[in-house]
Amino acid sequence: MKRYLASQLLISLLLLISFSVSASRFLRSENDTRRNLLTNGVGRTPPMGWNSWNHFWCGINETIVRETADALVSTGLSKLGYEYVNLDDCWAELNRDSEGNFVARKSTFPSGIKALADYVHSKGLKLGIYSSAGYKTCTQTQPGSLGYEERDAMTFASWGIDYLKYDNCFFDGTKPIVRYPKMTRALMKTGRPIFYSLCEWGDMHPALWGDRVGNSWRNTMDIVDNWDSMVSRADANEVYAEYARPGGWNDPDMLEIGNGGMTNDEYIVHFSIWAISKAPLIIGCDLRSASNETLAILGNKEVIDVNQDPLGVQAKKVRMIGDCEVWAAPLTGYRMAVLFVNRALFAYGIPAHWDDLGLPQDTVVQVRDLWKHETLKKTYKNKFEPTIASHACKMFVLTPIS
């Protein structure tokens, strides 16, 4: 009997120990996302720049990246705030060196990443890089950083990297909330302020924990250069509007403007929704040969100003009527950005009521059209109802005047 009791006691003790070990592990990983691990001070407004993936996929090299940096300056886009020049997948050799360090791909980046960073910095711009919270990146052509977080973060910092996009391919079965904070800590340890862009595709609702871990979080799978893909990413991202704030932004993926799959009006919708949604404005076309139409969209300062407004509040849809919708976001100075989008096949008049916008009744507003660059002659009270063409939008700033 005594022996039986002793063995029962031992079993209970062992169960208790293993339960507390796993509970403390669980709580530790929970704590990882409850505490603010990232205090790097960057991303007070949504990041602006360029990334190689949407246009070039794996076909990048140092010449393209240098010429893109040149183009950001010569087109005037850098003056408007586009500062990050970001490498995506395919910049590294498949194998690390004998010490376990990343090696730049010799055939396409023969001068190395440090030299590229120096060049980009000499233009007054910043260099971004890409890795994955897994064993390989998504193209399987280079290693990921899982298990190498500190080493890789130190390498990136020593090269002068300013932005890290961190993908989610080929991992060990653990959840993003376990893998992504490891890189947060590693980046913080370098002491270099590096914008940290989480790219786990919205799998584990990163908006709910991303602001403690990164400066932005992708809420969607990859965008494709067509209307349906673009608006579906916008919709998925809008759901999480309340989680965006200076230092941490919802990310509906990068821009397709200039890649040829949408009409000019549709690209204007794309840019307007991204801007009012406080999304990262990361250009995804070949800037070296961008058309005037493309540059006019990407370079619309009045729309960029909405994106970069210091209040940092992401727009929500405040009214929907069938395929027509009104998006609105407050701006500094009691102003309001309002975007009317028509997804239907015919033109429609779409109303915004002051109730929708949170404006007090009888407030009189002045209306600035951000795409026509003109202030409307008429002032408006209680309701504003422009007509919008099919697959197009109009974007305004409303300023109360009495």
Site residues, ligand GLA (CB under 6 A) = 53, 88-89, 137-139, 167, 199, 201, 222
Active site includes 356? Answer: no
Residue 167 CB, shortest distance to ligand GLA, in Å, is: 5
Please tell me the distance from the alpha carbon of residue 24 to that of residue 345, in angstroms, as a whole number.
Answer: 56
Q: Which residue's CB is nearer to ligand GLA, number 89 or number 149?
A: 89
Contact (CB, 8 A) for 72 and 123: yes
Q: Shortest approach of ligand GLA to residue 280 CB, angstroms?
A: 12
User: Is the CB of residue 327 less than 8 Å from the CB of residue 333?
Assistant: no
CB of residue 347 vs ligand GLA: minimum separation in angstroms? 35
Which residue's CB is nearer to ligand GLA, number 172 or number 203? 203
Residue nearer to ligand GLA on the CB measure, 215 or 300: 215
Check the CA dihedral 372-375-378-381 and report its sign: positive
Catalytic residue among 32, 88, 89, 167: 167
**Alpha-carbon 168 to chain mean position:** 15
CA–CA dist 20, 173 (Å, integer) = 22
Q: Amino acid identity of 225?
A: D
Residue number, 286 or 309, with CB nearest to ligand GLA: 286
CA 28 distance to own-chain centroid: 27
Closest CA to 307 of 270, 359, 265, 344: 270
Q: What is the rounded CA–CA span in Å between residue 336 and residue 161?
A: 36
Per the CB < 8 A criterion, the answer to whether 50 and 72 are in contact is yes
> Residue 4 contacts by C-beta under 8 Å, 6 or more apart in sequence?
none
What minimum distance in Å lies between the beta carbon of 132 and ligand GLA?
Answer: 8
3 state DSSP class of 224:
coil
Minimum distance from residue 59 beta carbon to ligand GLA (Å): 12
Residue nearest to ligand GLA (CB): 138
CA 361 to CA 378: how far, in whole Å?
18
Q: In sequence order, what are the beta bridge partners of 319?
A: 326
Taking the complex as a whole, the smallest distance from the CB of residue 254 to ligand GLA amounts, in Å, to 7
Q: How far apart (Å, rounded) are the C-alpha atoms in residues 309 and 281?
A: 13
For 369, counting Cβ atoms within 10 Å of its Cβ (0-12 exposed, 13-18 middle, 19+ buried), the class is middle
Q: Is 222 a catalytic residue?
A: yes
Q: How far is the CB of 253 from ligand GLA (least distance, A)?
A: 7
Q: How far is the CB of 202 from ligand GLA (least distance, A)?
A: 10
**C-beta of 102 vs 384, nearer to ligand GLA:** 102
Q: For ligand GLA, give the closer residue by CB, 83 or 167.
A: 167
Catalytic residue among 70, 222, 305, 369: 222
**CB nearer ligand GLA, residue 200 or residue 238:** 200
Strand-pair partners of 165? 130, 197
Write out the DSSP string of 329-385: EE-GGG-EEEEEEE-SSS-EE--EEHHHHTPPTT-EEEEEETTTTEE-SS-EESEE-
Tokens at 202, concatenated: 């919205």
Distance CA 290, CA 54 (A): 14
Q: Which residues are catalytic?
A: 167, 222
